[in-house]
Amino acid sequence: MSSVKPIQDYAQLSDAEAEARIVAAKEKLGERLVILGHHYQREEVFRHADFSGDSLKLSREAANSKAEYIVFCGVHFMAEVADILSRDDQIAILPDMGAGCSMADMANLANVERAWRELSEVLDPDESITPVTYINSAADLKAFCGRHGGIVCTSTNARHVLQWSFGQREKVLFFPDQHLGRNTGYNMGIPLEQMVVWDFDQPLGGLTPEQIKNAKMILWKGFCSVHQMFKPEHIDAFKAKYPEAKIISHPESPFEVCQKSDYVGSTEYIINTIRDAEPGTRWLVATELNLVNRLAEQFRGEDKMVHFMSPTVCMCSTMFRIDPQHLAWVLENLVEGHVVNRIKVAPEEAAQAKLALERMLQVSP
């Protein structure tokens, strides 16, 4: 039997060589393989995806896939979800293990468990708080939510998930993204004063017991380093030049940006909204650069002008780690019967995380 091919053998391949080898390996693997690609993937990788989507759509694809191998062109938490929701005999693979999510890293189990303990000095969290984790989080945090009657959300279903959560208990602890939590809570009618920020570096999150008792939502002090670059001033400057332009933003963007936007939603929502718009329309978009560039290219022919919101480059550098060379590497190894870069969540953790994910899938539109 052949030995595992090392990644070093692929580092010098040109994109064109890697591309040809990806196509050949895909052909050989046939229906045993499915490649899932998030919208933020670079074009050279994205074109090989059998299915593309936002986090919710791709988690559904993973749950319904029959393929033996699920190669996830996205980031680590997405491949973990694919492993958790797929059958035990299916194998989830992330082409580059360095493809994480800096926002997901802003909450960890030790911090969240400490927050839960500290909150119990003020109230009984298992009685009065539903923990909600954004899908951009490690599997052990999803398992925490599973154990504590909580749930997972994505940018598509955050509102439905919060409605469910408030039906269970009076308050929500929302992690790791404060912006998705605040933007969604505010649109549901929760005043800003009732959404407090939990600073995980400070005792009791930097809050007083009174602030905690009065809060509806306790928002983790996390954010996406890509989306926090978008500013309301960018919108003002653009509108001064193009008053008729439409503004569309991902809900990981700051509150002030979402407030000034005409539309706010997930990557899939952003794509569909621009696709369905009238020809001749102009769009300013607050989300990751690879997606915005693809939209600009795709809709130029329909006379829709798509612009990126920030004057500086805001690329998700971890999404970018998935390159054609890594994809060729994992696929050619699979052809030879070798699994490299498998993502496998420990069984007990996976079972608890699955509870929270399944609750999410049930309440999702």
Contact partner at residue 102 from ligand SF4, ligand 13P, none, CB < 5 to 8 Å by partner kind: ligand SF4
C-beta separation of 250 from 55 below 8 A: no
**Burial annotation 329-342 (CB, 10 A radius, 16+ → b, else e):** bbbbbbbeeeebbe
> Which burial class, exposed, middle or buried, applies to 194 when counting CB atoms under 10 A from its CB (0-12, 13-18, 19+)?
middle
Cβ-proximal residues to 48 (8 Å cutoff; 6+ apart), any chain? 22, 23, 26, 35, 37, 73, 324, 327
Q: In residues, how long is the chain?
A: 365
> Bridge-partner residues for 147, per DSSP?
none
State which residue, 65 or 155, has the beta carbon closest to ligand SF4: 155
Contact partner at residue 54 from ligand SF4, ligand 13P, none, CB < 5 to 8 Å by partner kind: ligand 13P
Rounded distance between C-alpha atoms, residue 55 and residue 261, angstroms: 22
Q: Does 288 bind ligand SF4 (CB under 6 A)?
A: yes
Amino acid identity for residue 121 in this structure: E
Contact partner at residue 155 from ligand 13P, ligand SF4, none, CB < 5 to 8 Å by partner kind: ligand 13P
Tokens standing for residue 44: 């050279």
Rounded distance between C-alpha atoms, residue 25 and residue 32, angstroms: 11
3-class state of residue 232 by DSSP: helix
Contact partner at residue 57 from ligand 13P, ligand SF4, none, CB < 5 to 8 Å by partner kind: none
Q: Does 264 bind ligand SF4 (CB under 6 A)?
A: no
Rounded distance between C-alpha atoms, residue 68 and residue 176, angstroms: 32
Min dist CB 53 to ligand 13P, Å, is 7
State which residue, 141 or 331, has the beta carbon closest to ligand 13P: 141
Min dist CB 246 to ligand 13P, Å, is 18
Q: Does 318 bind ligand SF4 (CB under 6 A)?
A: yes
Among 25, 34, 93, 103, binds ligand SF4 (CB under 6 A): 103
Binding mask 218-257 for ligand SF4 (x = CB under 6 A): ------xxx-------------------------x-----
Residues that bind ligand 13P (CB under 6 A): 39, 54-55, 136, 154-155, 224, 250, 252, 266-267
* First-to-last C-alpha distance (Å) of the chain: 48
Contact partner at residue 55 from ligand 13P, ligand SF4, none, CB < 5 to 8 Å by partner kind: ligand 13P
Min dist CB 273 to ligand 13P, Å, is 13
Contact partner at residue 61 from ligand 13P, ligand SF4, none, CB < 5 to 8 Å by partner kind: none
Rounded distance between C-alpha atoms, residue 246 and residue 263, angstroms: 8
Among 29, 49, 70, 101, binds ligand SF4 (CB under 6 A): 101
Residues near ligand SF4, by CB under 6 A: 75, 101-103, 136, 224-226, 252, 288, 316, 318-319
